Amino acid sequence: MAPDATYTGRPYRSAEPYLATRTDIRAFAEAVGDPNPVYRDPAAARALGYPDIIAPPTFVVTVAGMVTRILLEDPGFGFDGGQMIHHSQRVVQHRPVVAGDLLSTRSVLERLERVGGYDRLTLRSDVCDERGGDVCTVVTVVLGPGGPTDPVDEGAGPA
């Protein structure tokens, strides 16, 4: 079964805001091996003008992923996420995430294509703070197994 193209442009939103805590930020920095003190020490962050520790730029991928997962796991959409391949990801940071931020995400399937026998999905997630201010935009591209090859598929051979 191919993913339902009518899902393109349909917005998905976080059910409730995500609180970015010091504990979460420190754990993420540790997990990615980034020793920068602004991710751990409030004094180091304040010295740079931030009210508290800030998160590494890719921290928001986890927050955005909570919403894109809702789309990818929607049974009506018809995407086989069990064999999904992560193709690429781009984070455009408008400002750093600061400990204490309440983050909300709006995600949308921007593009659904058939490429070389795969379904290629381009997902855009906009993450905002509690005042509606832009924090970042995450664009994620994933591939999933397609159904039988369509002769008009750009990766298909002769019919």
The closest of 121, 112, 49 to 86, measured between CA atoms, is 121
pLDDT at 24: 97
Mean pLDDT to the nearest integer, 25-35: 97
**Reported confidence tier of residue 83, pLDDT bands at 50, 70, 90:** confident
Interstrand relation of 18-19 and 102-115 (parallel, antiparallel or unpaired): antiparallel
pLDDT at 53: 98
pLDDT at 148: 56
pLDDT at 142: 95
Give the least confident one: 42-56, 69-83, 117-131. 69-83
Domains and CATH numbers, the chain: 5-145 (3.10.129.10)
pLDDT of 156 over the 70 cut: no
pLDDT of 82 over the 50 cut: yes
More confident residue, 15 or 155: 15
How long, in residues, is the chain?
159
**pLDDT mean across residues, the chain:** 91
Q: Which two tokens stand for residue 58?
A: 């890719």
Let me know the angle formed at the C-alpha of 25 by 71 and 83, rounded to the nearest 5 degrees.
30
Helices (H), 19-150: 22-32, 42-47, 59-72
Strand partners, 18: 103
